[in-house]
Homo-oligomer: A and B are copies of this chain.
Amino acid sequence: MARIEDLRKIATRLRIHSLRTTTVAGSGHPTTCLSAADLAACLFFREMRWNPKDPNDPASDEFVLSKGHAAPLLWAVYAEAGVIPLESLLNLRKITSELEGHPTPRMPWVKAATGSLGQGLSVGVGMALAQRLDKSPARTFVLLGDGECAEGQVWEAANSAAYFKLRNLVAVVDVNRLGQSDPTMHQHDLGALARKFRSFGWNAVVVDGHRIAAILAAFKKAGQGGKPTAILARTLKGKGVSFIEDKNGWHGKPLKADELAQAIEEIGCLPDVDSRRFIHKPKPFRKRKRVVALGFPRTPYAEKTATRLAYGNGLLALGRIDPSVVVIDGDVKNSTYADKFFGAFPDRSFQGFIAEQNMVGMGIGLAAKGYLPFIATFAAFLTRAHDQIRMAAYSFSNLKLCGSHVGVSIGEDGPSQMGLEDLAMFRSIPGALVLYPSDAVSAEACVEAAAAHRGLAYIRTTRPATPILYPAKETFAAGGSKVLRKGEGDAATVIAAGITVHEALKAHETLRQEGIGLRVIDAYSVAPLDVETIAREVAQTGGRAVVVEDHYAGGGLGDAVAEALAGKADLAHLCIRELPRSGKPDELMKTYGISADHIIRAVKELVAA
């Protein structure tokens, strides 16, 4: 077991590595590494139980570096632990290196990308929940900065950790007093932070973050009373180097070569200690093997059914065959129909209350531990977690999101409740699967397609009930589309998705009676888009295309089709072009121009042009 003297030496080594590598890289945040070096040494080389041979050993404690700009410190830890070669540290921030400016899972020991502050504690909540589900004795440690405690998400996470009684979760806050541009709100008033954590249901312990013995003593209090524990460590930014220690103006600045030399002179040379031998290996622990069947039995539908309801049915059926499925709700489960899963699988269901940021962060944590999280709320409120969703992508997270109540078709609740920008949000994420089913059959199939997709997937569901369009066994591949109406000599093609597919079918019927053929495509896979089918069908209808969507003009299906058909088609784009108001769904679809009548008019204009 590492003695205080050993840990002090290790911390010094971590400091020197952090200074050197940022100077070599010419950028980075050395001072924020120096404040946390003693904490990191105590964590990785004494308190934590972990297996440096396997980043995915379920027996190991988990670690999340919420203050992601301290990445050089984390890389130094793994080098000291023998996980990566010491020399590799000098590749920090190079395009060829896994050691990025902020942690991402390109480096396999990182389970969740950080660097957008205030997100790590939510990830930790998810991991600690996963450990509990696994019945694992392992714990989760999250290292935060004091500056990021201004982010509301930290308090959402604190709330939920206390609610779930996560005694296996420890937050270590490196209170170094200085933000990027100014001192932090509470500076070294650690009592203020402790009062906050306690009022949110946590144990809070205040320590000197540079006194090894005090840090180790604080860890002993973790988990008392069955509560999550915050260790609030008073530290100095730039600790150990006189001319940067506790000085404003040194955030995100590497030392110049001569400054580095001076710093090393102050700190002394690399102390001689083999850090690797102080790593505490965990007791072996094996997770239950989960048997996952392929494909779930579909619900038979005859009557009009809302796609959100079918989502709920699909999720329930998926949960029956796949024990790794977990569901998080933001107090809207009776609207998204996630409540069906909650009723059947209470142990795998988590009430996140109205805190969308934390909900997504928890999902990232659960996914990092091998679970398959489905998270649903109103699509409009997923914008609340846009930053977290962005970070989920950088975490290569296997997260499934469902946004219900999309578009003006929700009706009277008004614009604040209408998801009208969600396609733009998800289409901008490289690799995200974006599905938008039009009926209950395709909605259930989309749940299966999302589960099968490795990575971020989004399902867009509709509030009102819509007619059934597909036979029960129809398959819906990611990247596919369905040609629903097709005739020789069709005058134009309409590309629709979700509720507008039904408007397109009405338009088809009316035009048919007038002798005009309208090809109808259900573009249920908005990303990737079925470019080949759409281009072929549009070409067959004289290069005339109408896109119609219950979404704003920018970034949605219309943009996707415009890019796919550039130069190949005359395009009419029907969508919501102004801020809508409350009203009846039909009225709103008519008022804002996405009804069957508008499709008919657009087709006739294209034909006449």
Contacts and interface: CB of A to CB of B under 8 A. Distances in A.
Contact of A155 (B152, B185, B381): B152
A299 to B, nearest CB: 22
A184 interface: yes
A353 B200 contact: no
A354 interface: yes
Interface residues of A, number: 115
A430 B567 contact: no
- Report the copy number of this chain in the oligomer: 2
Contacts of A591: 95
A539 interface: no
Given A570-B567, A587-B95, A104 B581 contact: yes
Given A353-B150, A567-B569, A578 B431 contact: yes
Given A182-B351, A353-B184, A425 B415 contact: no
Contacts of A428: 420-421, 424-425, 552-556
A220 to B, nearest CB: 25
A163 B179 CA distance: 16
A199 B334 CA distance: 34
A337 B532 CA distance: 47
B150 A152 contact: no
Contacts of A569: 566-567
Contacts of A391: 416
A196 B380 CA distance: 28
Given A179-B331, A559-B562, A115 B582 contact: no
A207 B28 CA distance: 51
A581 B543 contact: no
A329 interface: yes
11 contacts: A27-B411, A100-B415, A100-B582, A101-B582, A102-B417, A181-B334, A185-B353, A199-B199, A383-B387, A425-B425, A428-B555
Given A106-B581, A180-B335, 13 more contacts: A25-B412, A26-B412, A93-B582, A104-B414, A113-B416, A115-B417, A116-B380, A116-B384, A118-B354, A152-B357, A159-B185, A199-B199, A393-B579
